[in-house]
């Protein structure tokens, strides 16, 4: 007769295997669109049309219905789609540079503004400051679509339409980083700041040499989240840019014609590379910045 201890260990192993298999299945479902996109980008155009063409063929009543042949292994690996995207047609790379040129300044300067504003909120007490910080929270809770029309009229009044500043200004002064960094800085033991003040450090020295090194995890997580958010923006460029030459790749992908669906898969893979690399490289910082409670070891 088996002992209760062995039965308990056996049950734990069975439960662990079941939960691991369940979690693996959920993870596979989440990454399946990326896998399908990468696989289809390596297929020839005629193979894509034969497998998925029924989804993109239009009839009088709308999209045609039929069977879709979902394949995870192409019959013949082809890099023709990537050749077109990266070399033959410069439009895709040009839109990719548009995306980088729009997003990177927002990430850098939003963190600069956010760090300084968060330090002020964390270092200053009072009802007036609490009201201002509450206003930041309210602004953060509003979807960007709510403030898009006011941003349009402000940009028009400042004569910034069809310029990158129409995207940069709202992004740089977005309240997201201010809120996240303020909550992080308020958990820092303020005795560290007082000790630095006793050593003769000024506010700027405390900010640069004490606060910023402690908050590097939160700053990195903010950078990752802000980059991903603005990398996928669509509404802002469509509303604030009337010239399609200024569109980022996120907008340009939606305008690819149905007959170029193979190129769309390749362009989508190229579009996913920066976000994927940033997430994989900064995953540790992202988890640390969100999960940490600002404790000092």
103-129: pLDDT as tens digits: 999 999 999 999 998 988 888 877 888
pLDDT on residue 69: 65
CA distance 187 to 33: 39
Spell 42-51 as b/e; 16+ CB within 10 A means b: bbbbebbbeb
Helix or strand or coil: residue 295? Answer: coil
196-239: pLDDT as tens digits: 888 887 888 888 888 888 888 888 888 988 998 899 888 888 88
What is the percentage of the chain residues whose pLDDT exceeds 70? 85
What value does the mean pLDDT take over residues 151-173? 89
Helix or strand or coil: residue 64? Answer: coil
Higher pLDDT, 134 or 254: 134
pLDDT on residue 59: 47
26-75: pLDDT as tens digits: 888 888 888 888 888 887 777 777 766 555 555 444 444 456 666 677 77
| pTM flag (> 0.85) | no
């Amino acid at each position: 007769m088996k002992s209760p201890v062995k039965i308990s260990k056996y049950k734990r192993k069975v439960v662990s295997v079941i939960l691991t298999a369940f979690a693996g299945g959920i993870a596979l479902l989440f990454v399946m669109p990326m896998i399908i996109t990468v696989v289809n980008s390596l297929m020839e155009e005629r193979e894509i049309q034969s497998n998925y063409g029924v989804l993109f063929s239009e009839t009088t009543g709308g999209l045609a219905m039929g069977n879709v042949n979902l394949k995870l292994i192409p019959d013949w690996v082809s890099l023709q789609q990537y050749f077109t995207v990266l070399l033959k047609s410069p439009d895709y790379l040009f839109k990719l540079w548009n995306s980088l040129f729009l997003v990177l300044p927002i990430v850098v300067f939003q963190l600069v503004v956010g760090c300084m504003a968060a330090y002020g909120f964390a270092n200053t007490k009072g009802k007036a400051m609490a009201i201002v910080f509450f206003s930041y929270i309210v602004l953060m809770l509003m979807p960007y679509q709510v403030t898009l029309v006011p941003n349009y009229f402000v940009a028009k009044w400042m004569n910034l339409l069809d310029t990158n500043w129409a995207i940069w200004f709202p992004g740089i002064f977005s309240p997201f980083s201010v809120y996240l960094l303020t909550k992080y800085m308020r958990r820092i033991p303020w005795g560290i700041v007082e000790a630095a003040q006793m050593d003769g450090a000024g506010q700027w020295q405390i900010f640069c040499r004490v606060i910023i090194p402690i908050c590097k995890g939160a700053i990195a997580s903010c950078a990752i989240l802000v980059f991903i958010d603005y990398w996928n923006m669509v509404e802002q460029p469509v509303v604030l840019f009337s010239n399609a030459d200024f569109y980022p790749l996120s907008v340009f992908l939606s305008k690819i014609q149905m007959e170029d669906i193979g190129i769309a898969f390749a362009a989508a893979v190229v579009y996913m590379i920066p976000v994927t690399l940033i997430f994989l490289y900064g995953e540790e910082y992202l988890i640390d910045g969100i999960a940490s409670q600002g404790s000092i070891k």
